[in-house]
Amino acid sequence: MINTIELEKRWLRYKTKIYRSLFFIIFFILAIPYLSYYLFQQYTLIIAKEKSISKVEREGKPMSLKDEFVPKIENKVENVNDVVLAPSIPIIDFNNEKQIDNRIAEKKKIEQKRVKEKKMEQEKAEKSRLEKKQAYHQRIAKRRALKRKRALEKKLLKKKSLEKKLSEKSLPRKRKLIKAKGSSALTSRDLGVVSHTNIDRKESKKITFHTTSNNYMPIMKRKFEQNKNAREAILIAKAYYKAGNYVESEKWALVANNLDKNSEESWFLFAKSKAKLGKKREALKILISYHKKTKSPQAKELIDKIQSRSI
Amino acid sequence: MKFFYIYLLFSLSVFASNLSDIYKLYEKQEYEKGCDYGEKYYTKNIDNENYLTFYGLSCLETNSISRLAQPMVKLGGSRELRETASYFATILLQKQLMKQFLIDGKELGNLRLPKTDFVLSRIFNLFVKKEYSIKKDIYILVDKEKQDIRYEVYIKEHNKNRNYMIIDIYQNDKFTKRYQYN
């Protein structure tokens, strides 16, 4: 029978032998570089120490390596002296300080002066700017006032001219009726008046034209009967009034008024005709009631005229 | 015009030398005023080392010892001024270390800091030498050189974050002066 235990032992020995040799090989591979590096460092240290020793020996002070690297701390502490500190109070030269003070003060004075001047200049500039602004504003205000004045004058003038026109309208025209010519052609006698040789050219002459004809009334009346227009009735009343036929004028004014109650002219003609006929109170009554209703300034004017008996 | 003269007078007084003013205050021993004045015109006289010296010396005699740091860092134009700067720095350091010792119990051990003639410095050296006795949380120190003078040092709690270190000085058992450092 085979002895297995003995065989196993032999096998184990064989294996350990193999592994041991492998371990040694790996160990040497790893250890050799480290070992060589360590040895190199040690060698350089030894060389450095040898150099320093030889230097000390050269200076005539032989010293052992041991002495150099072990400091004697206790001896050192005993030999240290106490440091005593004291403040030193500075000596001040007051004359010099005064001079410095004066210099500083002068400097500051100059600076202040400069600042003041600058400020004044700024103020001046500001003042002039303000003045300019004020002048500009004044100029604008003046211009505006002038414009306003002109506009007012214009307005007044307009008003005056209007008033003038109205007064002209309201004034009774002079009864300067020229008899119309029968024929349209002018005679040599009529022309002779125009061909006057001694005409003063500088003198301005007011020429008033009056258009009328003998058959004016019948034409107008016919027209009125056709149209039944208030305007035509007023024109007829006007014509009668101008001709001095106040009864007819009153009648036609009433007709016109019946057709158009808002026609101012019909009211006025009616009142004026009444006044001319001596019925001033009635005329005033009518006008006052009309004035109350319409607040017409022309009615007021007419009232005043009737009251002052200028009609 | 009247107002202009008043203004001029005022401006001249404003621009007068700060050095002569602080010197006068120091001479009159008005240290509190001198210290406040020094702080007020510090930036204006930052390069005037004489002014800074008087500023520091004035503050040294007051409770505002922390203000010493301001002139301390700026002094150094001459040998004397450098020494003055070190003097201020030493006193400040000693104050801080003493506070640490009194509040946190940090040992001063064998510290060898420069010596000065200032009270705080003398007390610090006594603490280093452990020449003190404790009575109800008050450290009592007697200077060997000046036997008649007794110092009492203790911490006074102001609030949670701030503690004051009090130094009471007695001469022949008579209270003479108190320093109160924050």
CB within 8 Å: B16 and A101: yes
| Measured distance CA(A209)–CA(B61) in Å, rounded | 124
CATH 1.25.40.10 given to domain A216-307:
yes
- What pLDDT, on the 0 to 100 scale, is given for residue A175? 55
Which residues from chain B sit within 8 angstroms of residue A97, using beta carbons?
17, 19-20
Task: Report the SS3 class of residue B24.
Answer: helix
| Measured distance CA(A81)–CA(A87) in Å, rounded | 19
Counting residues of chain A whose pLDDT is more than 90, the rounded percentage is 20
Which residues from chain B sit within 8 angstroms of residue A100, using beta carbons?
17
User: Domain boundary residue among B75, B94, B119?
Assistant: B75
Name the residue ranges covered by the structural domains of chain A: 26-57, 101-163, 216-307
Q: DSSP letter at A215?
A: T
Mean pLDDT of A44-52: 78
Q: Is residue B12 part of a domain?
A: yes
User: Quick check: A86 contacting B, CB < 8 Å?
Assistant: yes
Residues B115 and B179 in one domain: yes
Q: Is residue B37 part of a domain?
A: yes
More confident site: A245 or A194: A245
Instruction: Decide: B11 and A112 in contact? Cβ < 8 Å.
Output: yes
Strand partners, B132: B141
Q: Is residue B86 part of a domain?
A: no
pLDDT digits 0-9 by tens, A174-183: 555 566 655 5
Q: Is residue B88 part of a domain?
A: no
What's the pLDDT band for A143 if we cut at 50, 70, 90?
A: very high
- What pLDDT, on the 0 to 100 scale, is given for residue A213? 56
| pLDDT surpassing 90 at residue B3 | no
Structure-block tokens of residue A88: 């030193």
| pLDDT surpassing 70 at residue B6 | no
Q: DSSP letter at A197?
A: S
| Long-range contacts of residues A261-264, Cβ cutoff 8 Å, at least 24 apart | A263/A230, A263/A234, A264/A294, A264/A296, A264/A298, A264/A299
- This prediction's pTM: 0.44
Mean pLDDT of B17-37: 91
More confident site: A81 or B88: B88
| Measured distance CA(A87)–CA(B45) in Å, rounded | 20
What's the pLDDT band for A62 if we cut at 50, 70, 90?
A: very low
CB within 8 Å: B115 and A108: no
A-chain residue closest to B7, CA distance: A112
- What pLDDT, on the 0 to 100 scale, is given for residue A75? 47
- What pLDDT, on the 0 to 100 scale, is given for residue B12? 42
Mean pLDDT of B6-13: 46
More confident site: A69 or B31: B31
User: Quick check: A21 contacting B, CB < 8 Å?
Assistant: no
More confident site: A81 or A7: A7
Q: DSSP letter at A93?
A: -
| pLDDT surpassing 90 at residue A186 | no
Q: Is residue B117 part of a domain?
A: yes
The domain total for chain B is 2
- What pLDDT, on the 0 to 100 scale, is given for residue B109? 80
Structure-block tokens of residue B23: 């010197």
Which residues from chain A sit within 8 angstroms of residue B55, using beta carbons?
none
More confident site: A251 or B7: A251
| pLDDT surpassing 70 at residue B2 | no
Instruction: Decide: A256 and A234 in contact? Cβ < 8 Å.
Output: yes
- What pLDDT, on the 0 to 100 scale, is given for residue B16? 56
User: Domain boundary residue among B75, B94, B123?
Assistant: B75
| Measured distance CA(B134)–CA(B140) in Å, rounded | 6
- The mean of the pLDDT values for chain A is 80
A-chain residue closest to B51, CA distance: A90
Which residues from chain B sit within 8 angstroms of residue A104, using beta carbons?
15, 17
CA neighbor of B128 nearest in space, from B142, B116, B149, B111 = B111
pLDDT digits 0-9 by tens, A84-138: 888 888 888 778 877 877 888 888 899 999 999 999 999 999 999 999 999 999 9
Domain that holds residue B153: 108-182
Mean pLDDT of A227-237: 88
What's the pLDDT band for A65 if we cut at 50, 70, 90?
A: very low
- What pLDDT, on the 0 to 100 scale, is given for residue B73? 94
Structure-block tokens of residue B77: 């134009």
- What pLDDT, on the 0 to 100 scale, is given for residue B110? 77
- What pLDDT, on the 0 to 100 scale, is given for residue A137? 94
What's the pLDDT band for A64 if we cut at 50, 70, 90?
A: very low
pLDDT digits 0-9 by tens, B53-95: 999 999 999 999 999 999 999 999 899 999 999 999 999 999 9
Given B15, B53, B90, which is nearest A90 (Cβ)? B53
